[in-house]
Amino acid sequence: MPVPCDFQQNALLGLLPEEELSRLLPNLEKVTLTLGQSLCESGQQMKHVYFPLDSIVSLLCVMENGASTEIAVVGYEGVVGVSLFMGGETTPSRAIVQSAGQALRLKGHLLKNEFYRAGPMQRLLLRYTQALLTHMAQTAVCNRHHNVDQQLCRWLLLSIDRLPGNELIMTQELIANMLGVRREGVTESAGKLQRAGLISYHRGRINVLDRPGLEARVCECYGVVKEEYDRLLNHNSVM
């Protein structure tokens, strides 16, 4: 199997020392993730983990009646499949592709073997898990205390942070499902942002036109999450 030459597009893999990379790279498989594809269902044991390159995966909590809310997003900064190396094996959340693109796939047992070596990979994955837990906690706080306008700005900024460009392909109905709010609320908030010249929205395509304008409107939750990822995922993480 050819060694992926673009592994450094994923921040976690790019931070690993050469010795750890040499064990992983021959086993990484480049795959295409399609919009809406399920990587893991609630209660299902994952056989692979995924390191997104230019794709985004949403982690969703789903209720018995089918309603769902996004609790975090995973892009180039992370890995989908934390439950595998944390010992839980399964999780009650779903992992659904929010933005199509490429990812590197690795068999779960190979990542677990590397994790249990208790070396740089373990330290890096534990730091990533801490950042992800902060992300989830801050999402819960945001959904409870901030309005839909602020939540939408947070969601847009977190999404484009994980994409190579400023365009998202996402319907308002899907955004509403992600945020756990009514579609009418998203329509109203998106309209405000469009009239202010911050975004353009047409036929499921959202273009961010004025990032500083979004940052001026977003709640504190975006900054808390971004700073925690930046703090924990850097070259000092694996020293």
Q: What global pTM score does this model have? A: 0.90
User: Is the pLDDT confidence value at 32 over 90?
Assistant: yes
pLDDT for res 237: 62
Q: In the chain, where are the structural domains located?
A: 7-142+226-238, 147-218
**pLDDT band for position 7 (cuts 50, 70, 90):** confident
pLDDT for residue 200: 93
Six token digits for residue 236: 């000092």
The secondary structure of 38-56 as a DSSP string is EEE-TTPPPSEEEEESS-E
Structure tokens at 49: 């983990």
Which two structure tokens, joined as six digits, stand for 65? 């009646």
Question: Are 58 and 96 in contact, with CB atoms under 8 Å apart?
Answer: yes
- 43 or 221, higher pLDDT: 221
Residue 1: its pLDDT value, please?
Answer: 46
User: In the prediction, which pLDDT does 4 show?
Assistant: 57
- Is residue 178 over pLDDT 50? yes
Residue 71 dihedral angles phi and psi, to the nearest 5° = -105, -20
Q: Spell out the CATH class of 147-218.
A: mainly alpha
The continuous run of DSSP H or E covering 105 comes out as strand 101-107
Helices (H), ranges, 7-147 = 11-15, 18-24, 82-86, 108-115, 120-145
Q: Mean pLDDT in the chain?
A: 88
- Strand pairing partners for 211? none
Burial class (CB in 10 A: 0-12, 13-18, 19+), 202: exposed
CB contact at 8 A, 222 and 157? yes
Per-residue pLDDT band at 228 (split at 50, 70, 90): very high
What mean pLDDT comes out for the span 201-209? 88
Comparing 105 with 68, the larger pLDDT belongs to 105
Q: Please write the tens of the pLDDT for every residue from 138-171.
A: 999 998 899 989 999 999 999 999 988 888 887 7
Mean pLDDT of the 128-144 span:
93
Q: CA torsion, points 127, 129, 135, 138, in degrees to nearest 10?
A: -90
CATH number of 7-142+226-238: 2.60.120.10
